[in-house]
Amino acid sequence: MTLNELKYAIAVAQLRHFGKAAEKCQISQPSLSVAIKKLEQDLGVQIFERKNTEISLTPIGQRIIEQAKVVLEEAKKIRQIPLEESDPLNGPIRMGVIYTVSPYLLPELIKRSIERTPQMPLIINEGYTTDLIQKLKSGLLDVVICALPIYDETLSCSYLYEEEFVALVPAKHPLAAKTEIESKELIEEKMLILAQGNCFRDQVLKVCPDSLKNEPNPNSHLHFMEGSTLSTLRYMVSSGLGVSVFPASAKNYDVGDQLTKYVEFKKPVPTRLVAILWRKSFPRVRAVQRIAETCSHIKLEGIHHLPFEPHSLSRDGY
């Protein structure tokens, strides 16, 4: 059993196709097939089920692939040791950021990162939390910036900041005349929320749990409407279709909008906790710390920065 054989097996498991896996690994398909067969013979088990053109993992094959990922990740650390010893901030970082954070944090973060660590470019991947976490665990990303809670004992995190929520209402709405409101004042309003799959949707529903409670027919949209992005929701609010709840950092992004108004919540103000996550096996923790420190110098309204302090993502870790 070799590391290359494990790498080939992971590629087949990810792509479910021997030809595509061989192309990704830059070897011929016959060579890859021989390597997979040899690995199965060495282990004495069948890793893949082959049905015509369909490739799937056997139950034990799934366990083997998961462990193979860990083995390859640990093996990478051997090559990273000299790099970390000399300069852990040297080399690109593949960073995933959720959609409800990226437009407000990234412009300044990228600018400051180029100034502070030009030798460590950030390769950005936007996405939903579940997709980004999967990529992080599989080694396709190095770090992920997202909102908590997330429970995964294979990952570590450090809190970046706590962010307040604000209500977004049409400029001519009665609530726009107020400086502060309570979340219960939104109960009778048509709530505009993100579609399912967005973690921010779940966080908003914790703030306004009755927003969907009065909906008799899920297809009628009498009491709530959905949008795919916060930008879409903002346009819907500006058109007078309803009200919404936004992260406070959006206030910095929407300067000059005369059709909507942000209204703060009364204390206790609802918030979300945004963190940076990485695999426990990731060797460049100092690079993660540098990203977190760069974030701490970014001034965004409604954000309270937190010091870099690694935590476990087990249920008892934070």
| CA-to-CA separations, 208 to 224, 270, 289, 310, in angstroms, rounded | 12, 10, 35, 31
- Please check whether residue 88 is in contact with residue 117, taking contact to mean a CB–CB distance below 8 angstroms: no
Q: 87-156+280-312: which CATH topology? A: D-Maltodextrin-Binding Protein; domain 2 (3.40.190)
Decide which of 1.10.10.10, 3.40.190.10, 3.30.590.20, 3.40.50.2300 is the CATH code for 163-265.
3.40.190.10
The owner of tokens 């009491």 is 223
In this model, does residue 165 exceed pLDDT 90? yes
Residue 117 confidence class, pLDDT cut points 50, 70, 90: very high
Nearest Cα neighbor of 98 from 135, 139, 142, 145 is 145
Q: Regarding predicted confidence, which is higher, 68 or 196?
A: 68
Rounded (5°) CA angle 202-208-212:
75
Per residue in 21-40, pLDDT (tens digit) is: 999 999 999 999 999 999 99
Residue 52: its pLDDT value, please?
75
The reply to whether domains 3-85 and 163-265 share a CATH topology is no
Angle between the N-to-C axes of helices 59-86 and 3-15, in degrees from 0 to 180, rounded to the nearest 10: 120
- pTM for the full predicted model: 0.71
H or E segment and range at residue 134? helix 129-138
Residue 220 confidence class, pLDDT cut points 50, 70, 90: very low
Domain ranges of the chain: 3-85, 87-156+280-312, 163-265
In this model, does residue 217 exceed pLDDT 60? no
Q: What is the mean pLDDT of residues 81-98?
A: 82
Residue 314: its pLDDT value, please?
74
Nearest Cα neighbor of 249 from 303, 169, 296 is 303
Q: Which residues contact 191 (CB under 8 A, 6 or more apart)?
A: 208, 211, 212, 223, 224, 225, 242, 243, 244, 245
In this model, does residue 82 exceed pLDDT 90? no
Angle between the N-to-C axes of helices 3-15 and 18-25, in degrees from 0 to 180, rounded to the nearest 10: 130
Mention the CATH class of domain 3-85: mainly alpha
| CA-to-CA separations, 75 to 71, 141, 142, in angstroms, rounded | 6, 17, 15
Q: Regarding predicted confidence, which is higher, 197 or 25?
A: 25
Residue 237: its pLDDT value, please?
92
Torsion sign over Cα 111, 116, 122, 128: negative
Residue 206: its pLDDT value, please?
83
